[in-house]
Amino acid sequence: MSTLALPALPALVVGSVSHRRQLPIHYAFTHRAYQWLVDVDQLPTLPVLLRPLARFDAADHLDRGRHGGIRGDLAQFLSGHGLTLSASDRVLMLANARVLGHVFDPLTVFWVLDQADAVRAVVFEVHNTYRQRHAYLLEVDAHGRARTPKAFPVSPFNDLSGQYAVRVRFGPEQIHLSVGLDRDGTRVLTATSGGRCVPATPRSLLRTVATHLLMTQRVTALIRLHGIRLWLRRLPVHPRPRPQGESR
């Protein structure tokens, strides 16, 4: 990726999330969804009555804020990969916020931008239902594509084999993400998410919340519902993984 054209921040990215499993069985779904796009150094300050609808906590990401909040944790992660997060760099985060104190964020994306809004780094942080997380530093090309070996268990219906094929499309009006899991040259599943960017005003937040009731609670419930459906279709379950480092 090169220089990004940014929407007004903070923004709501309102759209959908979909999964399409191709092997060993066919299974697909699409649900309405939204996420927040924020500058981690300028997190939204909402009116008091709206604060229960969106709260950002460093404990929900990377190393739980142990190195000085989200930015400090990201700097620590990048340092482990030979990159330095400069004081002048801007960090954007696409993530779910806490709603009524609850959050589950299957995928958080960080963009590190220099003073000209050129991309210096892209980090995908993946969360699973075992309360574990793992961050991937992606080498994204000029077309927004990247590949990386799978290194972290997300679903009990997939092991650690395979590679992720990532596509990121970032614009001032829309953001879309696609992650495909390839194994032995064959696409196993594809997950997509994204939507249009809407300025995160109190009015737009209320409108979005009204049409996406209890967003993060729904994410948690739907993940478990689809898991039960896959289990009932006798999709093999892999053993639960042992806990591992959060951001390595």
Amino acid (1-letter code) at residue 153? P
The backbone torsions φ and ψ at residue 193, rounded to the nearest 5 degrees and listed phi first, read -155, 165
Q: pLDDT value at position 181?
A: 97
> Under 8 Å CB-to-CB from 26, ≥6 apart: which residues?
none
| pLDDT more than 70, % of the chain | 96
pTM for the full predicted model: 0.94
Amino acid (1-letter code) at residue 227? G
The answer to whether 38 and 9 have CB atoms below 8 angstroms apart is: yes
Task: Judge whether residue 104 has pLDDT over 60.
Answer: yes
Q: CA 158, CA 175: separation in Å to the nearest integer? A: 27
Q: pLDDT value at position 241?
A: 62
Query: Using 50, 70 and 90 to split pLDDT, how confident is the model at 215?
Result: very high
Q: DSSP assignment, residue 49? A: G
- Of 173, 195, 192, 170, give the one whose Cα is nearest residue 34: 195
The distance in angstroms from the start CA to the end CA of the chain is: 23
Average pLDDT over residues 31-35: 97
What would the DSSP string read from start to end of 88-127? Answer: T-EEEEEEPPBBTTB---SEEEEEEE-TT-BEEEEEEEEE
The answer to whether 54 and 97 have CB atoms below 8 angstroms apart is: yes
Amino acid (1-letter code) at residue 141? D
* pLDDT per position as a tens digit, 121-145: 999 999 998 889 999 999 999 999 9
Task: Judge whether residue 248 has pLDDT over 60.
Answer: no
Task: Judge whether residue 93 has pLDDT over 70.
Answer: yes
The answer to whether 125 and 61 have CB atoms below 8 angstroms apart is: yes
